[in-house]
């Protein structure tokens, strides 16, 4: 059994659940008032192209934890990456925020104190024991199974822990968010152990009986469990888990988690649904594609090309219609602040790494070139342009494991979103659909000045 090596006393002056109780009451009143005053206000329209185009741009549901703005980048509970880096508590000898602080922030909406972050670290460590049956399930998985599948199976097996599954009927609906919170924090306390098992089982060929060190933070325990001993990699992991923690609610993984959760599935099942969406090549594999791209560039022009050599190679690369992985963003129209965070980390901690230098060189060359050749909505680097290179630098070269890391980090946001969905008692998600024939008929009716029920909208307006 994997368990904590020390069980220090829980901090009695801090409680995440009690802190959230008052905040939940306040926010329920805010939502109640918004619905009362603006319930019939139209906030969006839908085009036929959006119905066929993956619902892009349709304002569909609420997400309180984060928001992405074209010029500011992602805001976590209203706070920019720069603000997060300045205000979230750090490890005693560290320079980047602890992801435990992001857990507190996304759950409560409040920037945490050092004591509150210590409470989260203690909670995660003290609840980190993995059930023997979960370890047995994962031990018997084939070593050539994709690590994301291994990861998802381990997490889903944890469902037996769910208090929401066992106790929901014993509590009023207004209190279900507390059950979701307990399950969510349990999942977060064990997720790094399951990710570590996937790594050790698939790549190191080891069965480990590891004790979590209660003197270490969440990230440092994770890197230690996977065999890494470099304190700078601990810092890299803290940064990675913090900046990838959330990204609004409409992306595939977040939306899948929200959708399944809306049917009152427990957080374990809901998160695995989101995780399986994250495993898709159009969602969670971008930083792997960046590494493949960089290796091809180095193969053709060497490890230290001139800007001119890079530019000429890019022209040939783009000619058949390819794109540059790690560049462009659906919303952002500036350099992704998460890229900048990683760039600053690299400049502070890494010297003379050819791949890292190439990432920074591309940043000098690519945006200006893309702006000069055609209209590009966003010619700037996103978060994926840098993350894989950093992980590889510190020795985590197994790039098919990177989506597992993404999943560990994104659990922070998805669990926070799920808790608040239950706090607001959102109903089951069930949008209407229509066939192409039905759509053509609806368009015809609309052109005749009627609504979808056949009522004359022109007469209604005249009245």
Q: What is the DSSP string of 38-104?
A: HTT-------HHHHHTTTTT---S---SEEEETTTEEEETTB-HHHHHHHS-B-TT-SSB-HHHHHH
pLDDT of residue 12: 67
329 as an active site residue: the answer is yes
pLDDT of residue 9: 45
Which of 234, 266, 384, 386 is an active site residue?
Answer: 384
Return the percentage of the chain with pLDDT > 70, whole number. Answer: 94
CA distance 68 to 61: 15
pLDDT of residue 463: 41
The alpha-helical segments, DSSP class H, found in 350-435 are 354-373, 384-393, 402-423
Domain 284-394 has CATH 1.20.1420.30: no
Q: Give the model's confidence band at 7: pLDDT under 50 very low, under 70 low, under 90 confident, else very high.
A: very low
pLDDT of residue 300: 96
Which of 201, 255, 329, 393 is an active site residue?
Answer: 329
pLDDT tens digits, 162-173: 999 999 999 999
Query: Residue 121's closest CA among 51, 268, 222, 266?
Result: 222
Q: Domain residue spans in the chain?
A: 99-281+399-424, 284-394
Q: Give the model's confidence band at 11: pLDDT under 50 very low, under 70 low, under 90 confident, else very high.
A: low
Q: Is the pLDDT of residue 30 over 90?
A: yes
CA distance 102 to 188: 12
93 as an active site residue: the answer is no
Let me know the angle formed at the C-alpha of 408 by 236 and 333, rounded to the nearest 5 degrees: 70
pLDDT tens digits, 382-414: 999 999 999 999 999 999 999 999 999 999 999
pLDDT (mean) for 431-446: 93
CA distance 337 to 74: 8
pLDDT tens digits, 52-90: 999 988 999 999 999 999 999 999 999 999 999 999 999
pLDDT of residue 13: 85
pLDDT (mean) for 364-370: 94
Which of 146, 283, 353, 360 is an active site residue?
Answer: 283
384 as an active site residue: the answer is yes
pLDDT tens digits, 129-159: 999 999 999 999 999 999 999 999 999 999 9
- Superfamily of domain 99-281+399-424 in the CATH hierarchy: Citrate Synthase, domain 1 (1.10.580.10)
């Amino acid at each position: 059994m994997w368990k904590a090596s020390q069980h220090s006393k829980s901090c009695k002056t801090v409680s995440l659940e009690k802190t959230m109780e008052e905040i939940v009451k306040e926010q329920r009143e805010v939502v109640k008032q918004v619905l009362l005053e603006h319930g019939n206000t139209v906030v969006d329209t839908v085009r036929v192209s959006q119905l066929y185009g993956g619902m892009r741009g349709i304002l569909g549901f609420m997400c309180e934890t984060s928001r992405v703005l074209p010029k500011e980048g992602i805001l976590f509970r209203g706070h920019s990456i720069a603000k997060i880096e300045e205000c979230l508590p750090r490890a005693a000898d560290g320079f980047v925020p602890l992801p435990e602080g992001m857990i507190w922030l996304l759950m409560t909406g409040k920037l945490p104190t050092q004591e509150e972050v210590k409470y989260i670290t203690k909670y995660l460590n003290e609840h980190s024991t993995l059930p023997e049956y979960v370890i047995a399930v994962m031990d018997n998985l084939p070593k050539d199974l994709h690590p994301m599948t291994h990861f998802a199976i381990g997490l889903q097996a944890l469902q037996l822990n769910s208090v929401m599954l066992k106790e929901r009927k014993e509590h009023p609906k207004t209190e279900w968010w507390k059950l979701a919170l307990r399950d969510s924090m349990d999942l977060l306390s064990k997720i790094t152990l399951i990710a570590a098992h996937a790594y050790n089982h698939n790549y190191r060929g080891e069965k480990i009986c590891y004790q979590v060190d209660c003197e270490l933070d969440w990230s440092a325990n994770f890197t230690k469990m996977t065999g890494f001993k470099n304190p700078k990699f601990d810092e890299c992991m803290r940064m990675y888990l913090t900046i990838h923690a959330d990204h609004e609610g409409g992306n595939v993984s977040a939306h899948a988690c929200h959708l399944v959760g809306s049917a009152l599935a427990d957080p374990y099942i809901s998160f695995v649904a989101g995780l399986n969406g994250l495993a898709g090549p159009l969602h969670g594999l971008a930083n792997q594609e960046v590494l493949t791209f960089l290796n091809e560039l180095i193969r053709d022009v060497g490890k230290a090309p001139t800007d001119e050599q890079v530019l000429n190679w890019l022209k040939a690369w783009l000619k058949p219609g390819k794109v540059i992985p790690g560049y462009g963003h659906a919303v952002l129209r500036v350099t992704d602040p998460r890229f900048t965070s990683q760039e600053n980390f690299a400049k502070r901690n890494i010297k003379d790494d050819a791949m890292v230098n190439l990432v920074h060189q591309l940043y000098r060359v690519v945006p200006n070139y893309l702006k000069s050749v055609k209209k590009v909505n966003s010619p700037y680097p996103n978060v994926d342009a840098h993350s894989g290179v950093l992980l590889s630098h510190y020795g985590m070269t197994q790039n098919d494991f990177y989506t597992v890391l993404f999943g560990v980090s994104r659990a922070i946001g998805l669990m926070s979103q799920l808790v608040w969905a239950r706090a607001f008692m959102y109903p089951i998600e069930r949008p209407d659909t229509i066939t192409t024939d039905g759509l053509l008929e609806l368009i015809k009716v609309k052109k005749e000045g009627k609504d979808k029920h056949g009522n004359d909208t022109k007469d209604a307006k005249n009245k």
